[in-house]
Amino acid sequence: MPKYKVKIEVIDILNDGECSMGQKIGDVFEYPEDRGKMCPSSFYVLYPWIMVILSGGSFAEEGDGSDFMTTGCPDYKHQVVYKISRTVIEE
């Protein structure tokens, strides 16, 4: 089974564009290296999706081969939108 590297990127912040935890559009986090740098509430929401992607699962629509998905944090006033993607680690 291949090994993967997971990248979590802030792609949007809804409403006034300001995250209450200070994250900005364009911020990038690598999993597992940067897990302590992310907003804990967001990480709690993202973790199940990270595990799917790490285990080789896909979010593909009808076999389009997508290795990414987007989801938002639980802050309903300033929701941060993340793109979670993976790349294969060459050994």
What are the residue boundaries of the structural domains of the chain, listed by start? 3-89
In the three-class reduction of DSSP (H, G, I as helix; E, B as strand; rest coil), residue 5 is classed as strand
In sequence order, the 6+-apart residues with CB closer than 8 A to the CB of 86 are: 4, 5, 6, 7, 53, 54, 67, 68
Distance CA 17, CA 77 (A): 10
Mean pLDDT taken over the chain:
88
Q: Which residues contact 21 (CB under 8 A, 6 or more apart)?
A: 39, 41, 42
3-state secondary structure of 77: coil
Position 60 pLDDT exceeds 70: no
Of 20-29, 35-44, 52-61, the poorest mean pLDDT is in: 52-61
